[in-house]
Amino acid sequence: MTEHEQFAEDLALYALNALQGDDRAVLEKHLATCSACRLELEQLRGDGALLALSTVGPKPPLRARQRLLDAVAKEVAAAPTLRQAEGRLSRAENAREMGHPSVIVRRSWWGGLGWAATAAVIVLAASLWKENSALKRDIATWRSVASQEHLELENVQKVARAITDPEVERFTVVAMKTPPQPQGKAFYLRNRSSLVFVANNMPSLPPQKAYELWLIPMQGVPIAAGVFKPDAHGSATVVNPPLPAGIEAKGFAITVENEAGVEHSTQPVMMIGTGE
Amino acid sequence: MKSGDQSALAELYDRYSSVVYAVALRVLGDTGAAEDVLQEVFLQLWRNPGTFDSARGSLGAWLAVITRNRAIDALRRRKPETDIEDVIVSVSPDLAANADRSRAAEKVRGVLGTMPALQRSALEMAYFEGMSHSEIASKTGEPLGTIKTRIRSGLIALRKAFEK
């Protein structure tokens, strides 16, 4: 039995997150060094995906869509919350700073009052110490809140950059004839080589044929940016195809190719669009 | 954020929410909990759009796997065990279009229909109920090795159906 065969059954369980304990740890150690087993793991997950996709059920309730879009909008609006938290932190810190002078002022007149006054001041000092501790706890809380909100803000900003960054170039490609009007929208972020392409009203294709998306650089030949086939309604999606880093796009185009796609097209351009 | 900037997410939601919701509902059996998972999966996609690599498989298959994992975590009331960045799904049929997914689903149901009942049951307990092989062995009274073999050969049978 080879080493790979030894792990074969455990890999299937691992793909389903059903492998626990020592077996899991041993397999993870092996996966770190074995590309063949990593590839088999990806395929086993794909086999599981087929099982998942075989499920049928009702469509999600309509409110779920609005709930998602509301949540996204709320995340984007989270930026001011951080500023508010920082403001609260600043106020709390000011309060702490104000606490010290009051101790000094009260200490300034205790000397003339004897033991009774001393006892009173000790009680007062204890009270102030307690108050100061509470303020410190508040400050720690605000710091924690601010830190957490800062992390959330960073996440939101990361996502927002992918679509809203001033450097994002948007491209809409349309067909020469109507109706129905095939249309595709490309959201391209050059500095992250990130591309989301969504197409609608695409005519169906003969078997063995597919649409191929092309990134047209400012210089040089078009770069293949994914192959896709539309569904029964003419819709299709390409998300983050492999692209070379940092290519400045003049536009995007679509050709019809064999379904495996080609590296360099000789076919006529069916749709083309430049940045908006 | 400008209204148009969320359109890409809305488009992806319109395309894949039925798949995500169906998987979550199959695992959880509760519409409210399935809706929560649906929300979480698309928010994860929104927060980390770069985590899906289209060179390694279809978005529909990736979402199905992420959804199944999150739903199992919810079912077992445990913290997410796998970071979505770590999940790479390789699947041979093209599942980008609804029609392709429908054809693939029909084919998978056909394979499951011809599978021995005990094998199908072991596979579904592992996949849709999140049971470990030892839990399945304990429930069915069969040896651990038998359960392991059934699960693996069941998955491979699905793959082979698409290699023909």
ipTM field: 0.84
> How many other C-beta atoms are found inside a 10 Å radius of the C-beta of residue A242?
14
Q: How far apart are CA A16 and CA B122, in angstroms?
A: 12
The answer to whether A197 touches A213, Cβ cutoff 8 Å, is yes
Please judge whether B10 and A65 are an interchain contact, meaning their C-beta atoms are less than 8 angstroms apart: yes
3 state SS of A140:
helix
Q: Listing from the earlier edge strand, what are the strands of the sheet with A209-217?
A: A223-228, A209-217, A249-258, A271-274, A169-174, A183-189, A194-200, A236-239
At B151, which helix (H) or strand (E)? helix B144-161
Which of chain A's residues have a Cβ under 8 Å away from the Cβ of B103? none
Which of chain B's residues have a Cβ under 8 Å away from the Cβ of A17? 69, 72, 81-82, 130
Q: Euclidean distance between the first and final Cα of chain B, in Å?
A: 48
Residues of B (32-71) whose Cβ lies below 8 Å from A: 34-35, 38-39, 42-43, 46-50, 52-57, 59-62, 64-65, 67-69
The pLDDT value given to residue A225: 92
The pLDDT value given to residue B81: 56
The pLDDT value given to residue B33: 94
The pLDDT value given to residue B161: 87
Residue A170 in this model has a pLDDT that exceeds 90: no
Residue B74 in this model has a pLDDT that exceeds 60: yes
Q: What is the pLDDT of residues B80-138, one digit of tens each?
A: 555 555 666 666 656 666 777 778 888 889 999 999 999 999 999 999 999 988 899 99
Question: Peptide bond preceding B49: is omega within 30 degrees of 0, i.e. cis?
Answer: no
The pLDDT value given to residue A113: 53
Between A193 and B88, residue with greater pLDDT? A193
Residue A165 in this model has a pLDDT that exceeds 80: no
- Per-residue pLDDT band for B28 (boundaries 50, 70, 90) equals very high
What's the longest Cα–Cα distance across chain A? 103
Of A42, A54, A50, A35, the residue nearest A12 (C-alpha):
A42
Q: How far apart are CA A200 and CA A183, in angstroms?
A: 5
The pLDDT value given to residue A17: 83
Q: How far apart are CA B127 and CA A44, in angstroms?
A: 12
Q: How far apart are CA B15 and CA B36, in angstroms?
A: 18
3 state SS of A56:
coil
- Per-residue pLDDT band for A133 (boundaries 50, 70, 90) equals low
Between A177 and A89, residue with greater pLDDT? A177
pTM attached to this predicted model: 0.55
Residue A207 in this model has a pLDDT that exceeds 70: yes
3 state SS of B89:
coil
